[in-house]
Structure 1
Amino acid sequence: MSYRKPQFRHPRLEVNDLGLTHRDYEGALSTLCAGCGHDAITAAVTQACAELSLPPHRVAKISGIGCSSKAPNYFLNHAHGFNTVHGRMPSVATGANMANRDLIYLGMSGDGDSASIGFGQFAHVVRRRLNMLYIVANNGVYGLTKGQLAATAELGMKNKSGEASLFTDIDLCVSALQFGATFVARSFSGDKAQLVPLIKAAISHKGFAFIDIISPCVTFNNTPESTRSYDYVHDHIVTAAVADFVPVKQEIRCENSDADSEDICLHDGSILRLSRIQPDYDAHDRLHAMARIEQVKAEGKILTGLMYIDPEADDYHEINQTTDTPLNALKQETLCPGNHVLQTINDSFR
Structure 2
Amino acid sequence: MAYRAKAYASDEVVGSFTKQYSRIFYYAHELLARNPGSTIKVKVEPYDGKTMFQRFYACLKACKDSFVSCRPIIGLDGAFLKGRHHGELLTAVARDANDQILPLAYAIVEVEKKETWTWFLELLIEDLGGSDMCSALIVMSDQQKGLRQAVQDVFPEVAQRFCVRHLYANFRKKFPGKNLKRLMWRAAPTTHPQQWENEMRNMKEVNEDAFRHLIAIPPSWSAYRLFEIKHVSQNGDNFVVDIDKYTCSCRKWSISGILCMHALAVMRFLNLDAEEYLPVWFKMSTYEEMYSSIIYPINGKHLWEVIQCPDVLPPPKRQLSGRPKKKRRLKQWELKKSTTKMSKGGLTKEMYHL
Structure exhibiting the larger radius of gyration computed from Cα positions: 2
The two structures have a TM-score, normalised by structure 2, of 0.22
The two structures have a TM-score, normalised by structure 1, of 0.22
